[in-house]
């Protein structure tokens, strides 16, 4: 089971997905889901815990397969993030447009100019926040690595 995270300064999108590879390095998506369901239902027993060196070797062996299997998950998270950003930017632009219209309707000219400067400072801060949201730190980490051996 692998964890793919998509972290920004303000939010986190994440998904978990199973990966199964045979000893030849071939990946089987349906088998991964079947085995994960069996493990969760208690139909599979774990009888041995590996040494640290064995776990690291298994991780290195299957990391590339997990990256390939996680590509659709990565694309989904990327699309969610882009949709989130588009909505935030749209709402922010609308917010500042409405506030500017309101500021221009009432008050003395000096007061309006002062409020407009304040609004521009708020807009600049908001734009920096939006820019920070564009910086993403994706991560791919194993949650659990299991080696299945035949009982024959």
Q: Would you report the helix, strand and coil content of the chain in percent, each value rounded to 5?
A: 60, 15, 30
Interatomic CA distance for residues 91 and 88, integer angstroms = 5
Looking at residue 99, its pLDDT comes to 92
Q: What is the pLDDT of residues 37-60, one digit of tens each?
A: 887 887 666 666 666 666 667 777
Interatomic CA distance for residues 12 and 91, integer angstroms = 20
Looking at residue 119, its pLDDT comes to 94
Asked if the model's pLDDT at residue 132 lies above 90, the reply is no
Q: Taking a C-beta distance cutoff of 8 angstroms, is the pair 81, 8 a contact? A: yes
Query: Which value, to the nearest 10 degrees, does the dihedral of the CA atoms of residues 38, 42, 43, 46 take?
Result: 100
What's the mean pLDDT when you consider all of the chain? 83
The CA-atom distances, in angstroms, between 46 and each of 40, 100, 144, 147 are 12, 64, 12, 9
Asked if the model's pLDDT at residue 63 lies above 90, the reply is no
Compute φ and ψ for 148, nearest 5 degrees.
-105, 130
Residues in the chain: 152
């Amino acid at each position: 089971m692998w964890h793919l995270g998509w972290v920004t300064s303000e939010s986190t999108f994440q998904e978990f997905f199973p990966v199964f590879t045979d000893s030849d390095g071939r990946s089987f998506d349906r088998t991964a889901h079947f085995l994960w369901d069996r493990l969760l239902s208690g139909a599979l027993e774990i009888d041995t815990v590996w040494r640290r060196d064995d776990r690291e070797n298994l991780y290195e062996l299957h990391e590339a397969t997990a990256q390939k299997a996680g590509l659709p998950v990565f694309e989904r998270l990327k699309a969610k993030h882009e949709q989130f950003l588009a909505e935030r930017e749209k709402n922010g632009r609308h917010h500042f447009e409405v506030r500017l219209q309101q500021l221009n309707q009432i008050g003395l000219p000096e007061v309006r100019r002062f409020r407009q400067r304040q609004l521009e400072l708020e807009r600049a801060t908001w734009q920096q926040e939006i820019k920070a949201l564009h910086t993403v730190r994706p991560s791919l980490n194993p949650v659990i690595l299991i080696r299945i051996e035949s009982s024959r």
